[in-house]
Amino acid sequence: MATISFQLNGKTVSVKDVDAQMPLLWVLRDHLNMTGTKYGCGIAMCGACTVHMNGSAVRSCSIPISSIEGSKITTIEGFSPNMDHPLQKAWIEHDVPQCGYCQAGQIMSAAALLAENAKPSDEDIDIAMSGNICRCGTYNRIKAAIKTASNQ
Amino acid sequence: MITNIKRRSFLKVAATLGGGFTLGIAWASDVKTGYIKTAAEDWTGINAYLSISPTGKITIMSTNPEIGQNIKTAFPMIVADELGADWKDVIVEQAALDTVNFKRQVAGGSQSIRFSFDLLRQAGATARQMLINAAAETWGVDPSLCKADMSKVVYNGKSLSYGELANKAGKMPKPENVSLKDTKDFHIIGSSQKNVDADKILSGNQKYGIDTKREGMLYASIKKPDGFGQVIVSVNDAKTRAIPGVVDVVQFDEKVVVLAKDTWTAMKGKKALSVTYKSDKTLEDSEVIDKKLVELLNGAGEVKRNDGDVDKAFAEADQIVEKTYEAPFLPHNCMEPMNFFADVQADKAHLEGPIQTPEGSRKAVADMLGLKEDQVSLMLTRMGGGFGRRLNGDFVREAAQISKLAGKPILLVYSREDDMAGGIYRNAVKYRFKAAVKGGKMTAYQLHGAGVNSRNHCRENFFPAGAIDNYKVMSSNYESAVTCGPWRAPVTNFLACAEQSFLDEVAEACKKDAVDFRLEMLDYAIANNSTTKKDYDPVRFKAVLKLAADKSDWYNKSSNEFKGFSAYFSHNSYVAEVAHMKKVDGTPVLEKVTCAFDCGILINPLSALNQVEGGVVDGIGHAMYGNLTIKDGAAQQTNFNTYRMIRIAEAPKVVSHFIDSTEHPSGLGEPTLPPAGGALANAIYKATGKRIYKQPFVNEMEVDVLG
């Protein structure tokens, strides 16, 4: 059992008495009540659980809580709560979500892409977003929305 | 939560404490509840529900389960249109299961809009008339002189808002025989409206079933036998119980369940279980099942339809084309794994979560617990996909059973492995087609479908029924311990792929263009429309074929474009698709899919485009990659590292065209999936000369045509 402190959406949080091997995903969801980050596969193959760790997109299902001491974590709830990020606006403009379950992870992956590459090509988008599965098949809209956001 | 059951009399209107009015519409056809005696005299059909605040906000309940088909936007749009509302004033809320006030709260068969369209319109129109009557009485004029206009009633330069009228309208007597709008006067139906939950989804605030939290709740992880058909011999849970955070281990049927203070600990506890199983029968194996299905195809199937004399036509044929098409099991892979919340107490139970069949699931739970249905409440949550998996309420019953055994509220959460290995699959199936060709025409068509665990693997009254005189369809079933269930576009999801691939080959044998061949068959069906039974309208079907041919520039055979055609009727809708393939450095690559679609009146064109695109991408993806195999009784693919899903780089562009229609709205969420695989297979043939007879296509090819 461990006690871990880290920055979550700009605030310092301390999690006590958790299994050191528990992935960040489940600490967020079950111990901190931050359920915007979704469970999809548990093995970093679907991207539903994507969060930012020190600015990079990571799969929170595969990061033990013991490894994030002192890190800065951003989840979908803290990413842009006022819904004014160009990606959120573009997602709405293109009416991207169907079931919506994977979309928080999609947005977090896209945001990390744009932070590194303000004008991604189609190929850049394909590479950066290839870790995020959408069973509803909204990929074309995701791509269009990233393009729209990148032009703002 | 059960909606106020006192609002039970037909169109009984009650002013609410807040000064607004609510309009509940209930129906006698809900015979189980037994107390709506007078309603049958007035109406038949579904019910709906809306409320208006004094400030003019209009809350419309979306009654049906939301699985990503965007019903939660579409249903209220229909009500709001007839209501004469300004869409900006509308707030949408998800209704709980409520068999007293609502009807057919099911997400299945792409039937929600088709079933509910007129009844939602009547609900809106009735409320609109009451608001008009309230305004007319205020002004002392005849209601016929007043008009509803964008959340107001207007007359002779005067106007009262719906908010101002709500209280009075709530006390007005119920109007008889309200008139519905002319379809040309729709102001919301047919306009593109954004997903009503988008803000919540994109800010992480949308709650799905898996996000349910309750005071004192435990998380449950379930262990089922490794192989289908196995039973438990022994359970050792000592290591599990020693894990900090594990609270309890319970057992029922062939299932062992770990209860813990968080999801991960429950999953960890499950992994620490030591359970031995046995099976009295030989364990299931895909290779064995494949052989059994071929044996069935070689025998006589149950005849589902037999027109004319196929055997005579085969005897007289110039050429016979006979091909067999094969498909494996497929898991649904909803992105949100199966889960459900249950709080079972001695005399009542509450259920909450993602289920496409809330009414049937509640009944099953009530029966299982020995409770009456009205002692069990069920709240619907937005679902992270359905695709038919959540038509089966197995996990709802499990959640209730676990809560009962644990004596606590619980949230059952499947791991991805539980979800993918747990069955209820799209069944493995094979289709053998045989066509007689004589004088450049197809003179007989025979289909035999053999698959796992379904009463009928064919759709004998779909095309080409009625388009050819000698026509025979047979089905054979193989009973297996591998559980199967509906999967997006049941039966047709592979039948269409096989049929449309086969017709391409027959067209070639007849030396006909693939589209012309189908059009000639439809012309024959049109000419004989009154004499043959068929589920489709050949005139509407022909129109989508022509639209797809036109928009895809089908007849322009450029040197570096390889086009595959496919068309299918299902869920009362008509679809034609053209897959466009190009060669890049000699390698064929699917570039885009042109889709022509007729689903009657479009409620929400923007959302419809999204559904069409998703259906095509899903269809292409599963045709290419979908593959679940069984060995030693168990699924060999249990997560996305071994089960391949289509990803962004592989998704083709989709260009959609809708038939401008005033026909009654029909299915939208499913029908564009079935023809996609056939369009791809036929384009692959054009580009490579190779016919594809087996899913997943990727195993049949040297290159991945999705790039």
CB contact under 8 A, A42 and B262: no
CB contact under 8 A, B649 and A126: yes
CB B684 within 8 A of CB B587: no
Cβ-proximal residues to B397 (8 Å cutoff; 6+ apart), any chain:
B361, B364, B365, B368
- Look at the block and give the residue holding tokens 């074929």: B545
Average per-residue pLDDT for chain A: 97
Residue of chain A with shortest Cα separation from B265: A22
**Whether residues B435 and B369 fall in one domain:** no
Give the count of beta carbons closer than 10 Å to the beta carbon of residue B595: 28
Q: Determine the distance from the C-alpha atom of residue B390 to the mean position of all C-alpha atoms in its chain, rounded to a whole number.
A: 10
A-chain CB neighbours of B641 within 8 Å are: 43, 45
For the domain that residue B409 is a member of, what is the CATH number? 3.30.365.10
Considering all CA atoms of chain B, what is the largest pairwise distance in Å, rounded to the nearest integer?
82
CB contact under 8 A, B265 and A33: no
Secondary structure string (H, E, C) spanning B38-76: CHHHHCCCCCCEEEECCCCCEEEEECCCCCCCCHHHHHH
HSE at residue B474, side-chain half, CA atoms within 13 A, is: 17
- The β-bridge relationship of strands B255-260 and B319-327 is unpaired
Q: What is d(CA B328, CA B451) in angstroms, rounded to the nearest whole number?
A: 10
Number of domains in chain B: 3
End of a domain among B185, B202, B219?
A: B202
CB B79 within 8 A of CB B45: no
**Whether residues B96 and B227 fall in one domain:** no
**Whether residues B123 and B235 fall in one domain:** no
A-chain CB neighbours of B198 within 8 Å are: 91-92, 95, 97, 100
Sorted by where each starts, the structural domains of chain A and their CATH numbers stand as 2-77 (3.10.20.30), 86-150 (1.10.150.120)
Specify if B392 maps to a domain. Answer: yes
Give the count of beta carbons closer than 10 Å to the beta carbon of residue A152: 11
Q: Which of B203, B637, B672 to mutate to test the interface with A (most CBs of A within 10 A)?
A: B203
Q: What is d(CA B71, CA B109) in angstroms, rounded to the nearest whole number?
A: 13
Beta bridge partners of B562: B581
- Look at the block and give the residue holding tokens 């306009």: B191
Specify if B69 maps to a domain. Answer: yes
Give the count of beta carbons closer than 10 Å to the beta carbon of residue A3: 12
**Whether residues B524 and B446 fall in one domain:** yes
**Whether residues B376 and B511 fall in one domain:** no
Read off the tokens for B407: 């004596």
| Burial (CB count within 10 angstroms: exposed 0-12, middle 13-18, buried 19+), residue B66 | buried
B-chain CB neighbours of A1 within 8 Å are: 244
What are the backbone dihedrals phi and psi of residue B396, each rounded to the nearest 5 degrees, phi first?
-70, -45
Q: Of A19, A96, A126, which has the smallest distance from its Cβ to B265's Cβ?
A: A19
Q: What residues of chain B score a pLDDT lower than 70?
A: 1-49
A99 in contact with B, Cβ within 8 Å: yes
Residues in chain A: 152
Specify if B300 maps to a domain. Answer: no
**Whether residues B512 and B496 fall in one domain:** yes
**Torsion sign across C-alpha atoms A44, A49, A50, A51:** negative
Give the count of beta carbons closer than 10 Å to the beta carbon of residue B319: 11
The pLDDT value given to residue B49: 62
A107 in contact with B, Cβ within 8 Å: yes
Q: What is d(CA B697, CA B625) in angstroms, rounded to the nearest whole number?
A: 7
DSSP letter at B468 equals S
Complex ipTM:
0.98
Q: Taking 50 as the threshold, does the pLDDT of residue A55 lie above it?
A: yes
Specify if B85 maps to a domain. Answer: yes
Q: Of A81, A97, A133, which has the smallest distance from its Cβ to B195's Cβ?
A: A97
Q: Which of B315, B324, B386 is nearest to B112 (CA)?
A: B386
End of a domain among B202, B232, B258?
A: B202
In chain B the first and final C-alpha atoms are separated, in Å, by 49
A-chain CB neighbours of B244 within 8 Å are: 1, 19
Cβ-proximal residues to A15 (8 Å cutoff; 6+ apart), any chain:
A3, A4, A5, A27, A31, A32, A65
The pLDDT value given to residue B530: 80
End of a domain among B389, B413, B437?
A: B413
**Whether residues B691 and B642 fall in one domain:** yes
- Average the pLDDT over A46-61 and give the result: 98
Residue of chain B with shortest Cα separation from A64: B264
**Whether residues B244 and B141 fall in one domain:** no
Nearest-Cα distance to chain A for B422, in Å, is 15
CB contact under 8 A, B208 and A38: yes
A65 in contact with B, Cβ within 8 Å: no
The pLDDT value given to residue B169: 87
- Dihedral angle computed from the Cα positions of residues B567, B520, B473 and B483, in that order, rounded to the nearest 10 degrees: 0
State which residues form the domain around B82. Answer: 21-202
- Average the pLDDT over A104-126 and give the result: 97
Portion of chain A with pLDDT greater than 70, in percent: 100
Question: Quick check: pTM over 0.90?
Answer: yes
**Whether residues B218 and B198 fall in one domain:** no
Q: Determine the distance from the C-alpha atom of residue B623 to the mean position of all C-alpha atoms in its chain, rounded to a whole number.
A: 18
DSSP letter at B391 equals G
Q: Could you tell me the CA-to-CA distances from B53 to B81, B88, B152, B238, B341 in Å, in that order?
A: 18, 14, 13, 58, 32
Whether omega before A23 lies within 30 degrees of 0, making that bond cis, reads: no
DSSP letter at A23 equals B
- The β-bridge relationship of strands A72-74 and A2-8 is parallel
The pLDDT value given to residue A143: 98
**Whether residues B126 and B266 fall in one domain:** no
**Torsion sign across C-alpha atoms B355, B360, B364, B370:** positive
- Look at the block and give the residue holding tokens 């043959």: B532
Read off the tokens for B96: 């709980």
Specify if B91 maps to a domain. Answer: yes
Specify if B7 maps to a domain. Answer: no
**Whether residues B188 and B222 fall in one domain:** no
Q: Of A76, A92, A140, which has the smallest distance from its Cβ to B204's Cβ?
A: A76
Q: Which of B211, B188, B210, B212 is nearest to B92 (CA)?
A: B188
**Whether residues B512 and B406 fall in one domain:** no
The pLDDT value given to residue B42: 24
Cβ-proximal residues to A75 (8 Å cutoff; 6+ apart), any chain:
A8, A9, A28, A34, A36, A37, A51, A108, B204
Specify if B441 maps to a domain. Answer: yes
Specify if B263 maps to a domain. Answer: yes
